[in-house]
Structure 1
Amino acid sequence: MKKIGFLSFGHWANHPSYKARTASDTLLQSIDLAVAAEEIGVDGAYFRVHHFAAQLASPFPLLSAIGAKTSKIEIGTGVIDMRYENPLYMIEDAGAADIISGGRLQLGISRGSPEQVIDGWRYFGYEPAEGETDAEMGRNKALLFLDKLKGEGFAQPNPYPMFPNPPGLLRLEPHAEGLRERIWWGAASNATAVWAAENGMNLQSSTLKFDESGKPFHVQQAEQIRLYKEAWKKAGHTREPRVSVSRSIFALVNDQDKFYFGQENSRTDKRGYIEADKRAIFGRSYAAEPDQLIKELANDEALQEADTILLTIPNTLGVEYNVHVLDSILKHVAPGLGWK
């Protein structure tokens, strides 16, 4: 049994074939899609976060709106770049979104992905400390975020406050009970997956990772997940961790599917570089008739290791078509793999 969610990149553009041509289209359609996905039995609605781009950026208003309009579906991110964040203010935003949703927030955070601008976090007012890299800054912010999410008091109260204070040090409010255990780290390397396990975060592994062995993508990703699980066990955490992997999977069940994805040319792994000097491997896409999809996906080692699958969706094609994409997987593919 696996949880199946969708992952939206939240694009928009003034293109004649797009259903999402403005930011308003993308935001409102994202809410509608999450509501419809819940109705057909999808387990999670996740959204990418990108700055300086015609894509979804600030996630908490959207997650709160979805939380208010749904009742069961998990809502989350994949991922928030911590280099851009004020961890303490983020705790307040996340706490509010989690409470509005009734404790359904699954928050993916990370050091971030290749950016639209050079050192974009500098425009947000953040600079690494002396001797610290931007990646280290992101991880250190994540650790501060995790620590203060526990809900323990740390701030000295004003002796002359506007309103009476409870006794002792003050914590950030609103406090979302249990959210600390629903934080995920997006790991591009084996080392950061191990680091995530050591620090008690769930693991998100996407459709790319650093190419650390030359093996096929799904094999490298499965090895990363196993290293994560070993590190989790070694760290002595008492709860079971969760692991998600992202995949582009399209079941070709009608002529429209074949038109959009029947000529899919990404059916093999791709290798390249991110940020000029980091060799990466990009996982293949899957597009075939259901029976063929089941055969191909059964050989994906990382899918076997994960408990949650995030299906990347073409959000610009609109809510109706994306509900069809998700429903096709639930009805025609997931049962044949034992996912549902």
Structure 2
Amino acid sequence: MPTPDRPLRSLGFLTIGLFDEHDPAGGHEATLRLIELGEQLGYDTAWLRHRHLQYGISSPLTVLAAASQRTRRIGLGTAVTPLGWENPLRYAEDLATVDVLSGGRLNPGVSVGVPVHFEDVKGALYPDTADREDFGYGRVERLLNLLRGHRASGFRGTEGIEAYSERVQPHVPGLAARVWYGGGSLRSVRWAGEHGLNLLTSSVVRAEESEGFEANQLALIRAFRAAHPAGERARVSHGLVVVPTDGATPEQRAKYEAYAESRYARTLAPQGPGRLLFAPDLVGTSEELAERLYAHAGFREADEVAFALPFTFAPEDYVQILTDLATRLAPLLGWRPAAG
């Protein structure tokens, strides 16, 4: 990845689309404006993260459908959709529909696992089948097969004036090749590689190789590519929290530094029974950030990024951060904005 002879190829950003419980429309509109700004600044991709039963976007695909009608070039992704909340057949239909609306710009990112707070939500989510649901990799395989056009129904033909297809409609050739997997363990990234997926790696990984974040992330990326049919050409996107301060006001800089400091203690050792490792949030001038990123072992292994925006900042903060990322930091990493 980003080295003087191998520049950053794709610049993206990720947001959860925070909103006020009493003004959800305002928060969703602010997210759509950020995506529009991203396109104007030349970003290659914009990504939305799910926040079920919280005050962040619960339906990223719906918002991306709206964004597809307000943009014409920028790639639109989910990072990531926890498939434990989704029916793969219905979700395949939604993905294909939004991809058609966007003109082929959708990048579906998915993950597996038991839904968060499942004991509290299973009565509403799966009242009759909670103990029989498959929350493992099989759920991703079902989705991929449906996107690839495998049979979803044993019936095809005409019944009266109604025509029926045996596969998901609309069918979009190539959409399955744009599916990304959000993996944080060696087992998950190897599975993703073996199944030919793209890899989204974030600021959270499991401590398996050592107790250092960078070493573990480096191991994940290399294990993924070793298992992938495309080898070193397999796509990996990096998702660190990176906050440039070049164009920030003194008040904004103080806020950003306080935010990073408040989250720093969790980065010092593996956390919880899952032994999760968190990357420190990076705050500073673009020159300082470029130096730190070039020195980051995990970051050097990828040539695509989806920098995560801090969750609790104001819209004007996001505008400043996105602008500095695109106009100051990314060019130092060799990136050039998309044309048009």
* Mapping of residues 176-325 of structure 1, within 5 Å: 176-233=172-229, 240-253=233-246, 254=248, 255-263=250-258, 264-265=260-261, 266=263, 269-274=267-272, 277-314=273-310, 316-325=312-321
- Structure 2 unpaired stretches of 5+: 1-7
Distance (whole Å) between structure 1 residues aligned to residue 162 and residue 257 of structure 2: 64
Residue type at the aligned position of 2:252: D
Q: 1:143 aligns with which of 141, 163, 176?
A: 141
Distance (whole Å) between structure 2 residues aligned to residue 98 and residue 159 of structure 1: 25
What's 1:17 paired with? none
Contact kept, 8 Å, 1:203 with 1:243, in 2: the verdict is yes
Contact kept, 8 Å, 2:10 with 2:304, in 1: the verdict is yes
SS at match of 1:115: coil
Distance (whole Å) between structure 2 residues aligned to residue 152 and residue 280 of structure 1: 37
TM-fit CA distance, 1:241: 2.5
Contact kept, 8 Å, 2:211 with 2:269, in 1: the verdict is no
Contact kept, 8 Å, 1:8 with 1:48, in 2: the verdict is yes
Does 1:330 pair with 2:326? Answer: yes
Distance (whole Å) between structure 1 residues aligned to residue 232 and residue 162 of structure 2: 37
Range with bigger deviation, 312-321 or 256-265: 312-321
TM-fit CA distance, 1:164: 5.4
Does 1:104 pair with 2:105? Answer: yes
Number of residue equivalences: 322
Distance 1:82 1:72, change over 3 A: same
Distance 1:159 1:115, change over 3 A: closer
SS at match of 1:322: helix
Q: CA-atom RMSD, angstroms? A: 2.4
Distance (whole Å) between structure 1 residues aligned to residue 231 and residue 270 of structure 2: 39
Distance (whole Å) between structure 2 residues aligned to residue 188 and residue 128 of structure 1: 26
1:185-240 deviations in whole A, cap 9, x for unaligned? 1112011000001111111111101111334212211110011001003xxx5994
Range with bigger deviation, 146-155 or 196-205: 146-155
Residue type at the aligned position of 1:298: Y
SS at match of 2:135: helix
- Structure 1 unpaired stretches of 5+: 15-20
Range with bigger deviation, 214-223 or 75-84: 214-223
Distance 1:309 1:121, change over 3 A: farther
SS at match of 1:34: helix
1:139-182 deviations in whole A, cap 9, x for unaligned? 2111100011112344222666143547xx61111112211001
Contact kept, 8 Å, 1:11 with 1:315, in 2: the verdict is yes
Contact kept, 8 Å, 1:245 with 1:309, in 2: the verdict is yes
Distance 1:153 1:163, change over 3 A: farther
Report the TM-score when normalising by structure 2.
0.86
| % identity of equivalent residues | 26
Contact kept, 8 Å, 2:202 with 2:238, in 1: the verdict is yes
Contact kept, 8 Å, 1:185 with 1:202, in 2: the verdict is yes
What's 2:15 paired with? 8
Report the TM-score when normalising by structure 1.
0.86
1:42-81 deviations in whole A, cap 9, x for unaligned? 1111111121211111222111001111111111111111
